[in-house]
Amino acid sequence: MLEKVRVIQYGCGKMGRVFLRYLYEKGAEIVGAIDMNPDVVGKDVGEVAGLGCKLNVPVRSDAENVFAQCDAHVCVIATRSLLSEVYDAFELAARYGVNAISTCEESFYPWNTSPALTNKLDKLAKDNNCTLAGSGYQDVFWGNLITSIAGATHHITKIEGSSSYNVEEYGIALAEVHGAGLSPEEFEEKIAKNDSLPSYMWNTNQWLCSQLGWSIKSMNQKLIPLFHDKDVYSETLGKTIKAGNALGMSAVVTTVTNQGPILETQCIGKVYPEGEVDTNLWTIYGEPNTTLKIEKPDTVELTCATIVNRIPQLIMAPAGYYTTEKMPPARYLTYPMNVYVDDFWR
């Protein structure tokens, strides 16, 4: 389409700042910005994003008014990790008929972890002719890279995946969900025992099964705290994690499908001791076996770029809560994002 894509940035924290710059550099018009952190509320988005120029759009905490006072195509939600926590933001966008895409890890595939909320949003989005979805790092690195290799495989018996990331790179929300800083007892109580807490790999396994056309026979997850033998300082927590307390955790999710293949995926999120780096390692077993390794992925940039690159597809997707395993893979934007929005979609 010829007009620029108009975007509201919902959440102007660590990720939000990167989103604002990527959106601006890919030719979006920033028409609104929302946050409730007093440190950013009132600031100009150009300043928040470090653009070097003002855009004369202030970060505001009165979310409803922001939606009421502009006509946005898209809202990017980067606030929290659970669907229940981003529900209000999605609901607001849907009520105003604004397409929305979120970094919320559960929102990547929330159909089974939060079916009632997802279906309410799906209905509301359809009533208001807009699309809601979740995306981020997992969309490409736990998602389409794996199904691309599946597309080169004759017979799959098992998919094994392991991904690690430094929770220091994200906000406090993520650090807390990973139990960073907790004692073994606190971890057991607050994290391990809490079955209702979906791990990111849980949603990812379901995304993979959905894209591969598999139905799920059984699933289980084990949350394992990860320790270190020395004290490690966490900037995000603003304190030192004592040796013997959790730096974070590994969530191992095992999915058995009715079609045969098993998924065993592991997500390691913790405050890194010195020297450790991110790795993303996946193996498809069967005929043949194939192992993919990504060395030191820049997960923040990759997350923000994937979501920004998905905006044209989000706009063109059918109305409803439309998870990304049903969309084409995210596509690099050489040109301003509006160029990639075909006019036939309306």
Residues that bind ligand NAP (rule: CB under 6 A) add up to a total of 25
Cβ atoms of 47 and 24 within 8 Å: the answer is no
Q: Which of 24, 108, 141, 321 is in the footprint of its own copies by CB under 8 A?
A: 141
d(CA 33, CA 35): 7
157 binds its own copies (CB under 8 A): no
Please choose which of its own copies, ligand NAP, none residue 11 contacts, taking the beta carbon within 5 to 8 angstroms, the exact cut-off set by kind.
Answer: ligand NAP
Q: Which of 27, 58, 184, 329 is in the footprint of its own copies by CB under 8 A?
A: 329
Question: What is the three-class DSSP state of 216?
Answer: strand
Cβ atoms of 158 and 261 within 8 Å: the answer is yes
Our CB check for its own copies shows the closer of 122 and 139 to be: 139
Our CB check for ligand NAP shows the closer of 16 and 320 to be: 16
- Cα distances from 312 to residues 22, 90, 106, 211, 297, in angstroms, run 14, 18, 22, 20, 24
Cβ atoms of 60 and 32 within 8 Å: the answer is yes
Our CB check for its own copies shows the closer of 174 and 327 to be: 327
- Cα distances from 167 to residues 268, 269, 278, in angstroms, run 10, 6, 11
34 binds ligand NAP (CB under 6 A): yes
Our CB check for ligand NAP shows the closer of 81 and 280 to be: 81
d(CA 90, CA 88): 6
Q: Which of 2, 38, 52, 152 is in the footprint of its own copies by CB under 8 A?
A: 152
Please give the residues from 191 up to 210 whose contact with its own copies meets the rule CB under 8 A: none
Residue type, 76: V
Cβ atoms of 229 and 126 within 8 Å: the answer is no
Angle value at C-alpha 200, between 195 and 203, nearest 5 degrees: 85
Question: What is the three-class DSSP state of 123?
Answer: helix
Over the window 18 to 37, marking each residue x when it contacts its own copies by CB under 8 A and - when it does not, the resulting string is ----x--xx-----------
Residues that bind its own copies (rule: CB under 8 A) add up to a total of 49
137 binds its own copies (CB under 8 A): yes
Our CB check for its own copies shows the closer of 89 and 209 to be: 209
Please give the residues from 299 up to 318 whose contact with ligand NAP meets the rule CB under 6 A: 303
Stretch that binds ligand NAP, among 170-178, 260-268, 289-297, 315-323 (CB under 6 A): 170-178
> Residue 157: enclosing H or E segment and its boundaries?
strand 155-166
d(CA 182, CA 47): 35
Please choose which of its own copies, ligand NAP, none residue 298 contacts, taking the beta carbon within 5 to 8 angstroms, the exact cut-off set by kind.
Answer: its own copies
User: Minimum distance from CB of 46 to its own copies (Å)?
Assistant: 18
Task: Please state whether beta strands 239-241 and 155-166 pair in parallel, antiparallel, or not at all (unpaired).
Answer: unpaired
Q: Which of 22, 24, 137, 187 is in the footprint of ligand NAP by CB under 6 A?
A: 137
Question: What is the three-class DSSP state of 224?
Answer: strand
Stretch that binds its own copies, among 56-64, 143-151, 165-173, 186-194 (CB under 8 A): 143-151
d(CA 155, CA 261): 9
Please give the residues from 307 up to 326 whose contact with its own copies meets the rule CB under 8 A: 308-309
Question: What is the three-class DSSP state of 197?
Answer: coil
d(CA 158, CA 289): 9
174 binds ligand NAP (CB under 6 A): yes
d(CA 210, CA 257): 11
Residues of this chain that bind its own copies (CB under 8 A): 22, 25-26, 137, 139-141, 144-145, 147-156, 212-214, 259, 287-298, 301-302, 304-306, 308-309, 328-332, 334-335
Residues of this chain that bind ligand NAP (CB under 6 A): 11-16, 34-37, 78-81, 103, 105, 136-138, 170-174, 303
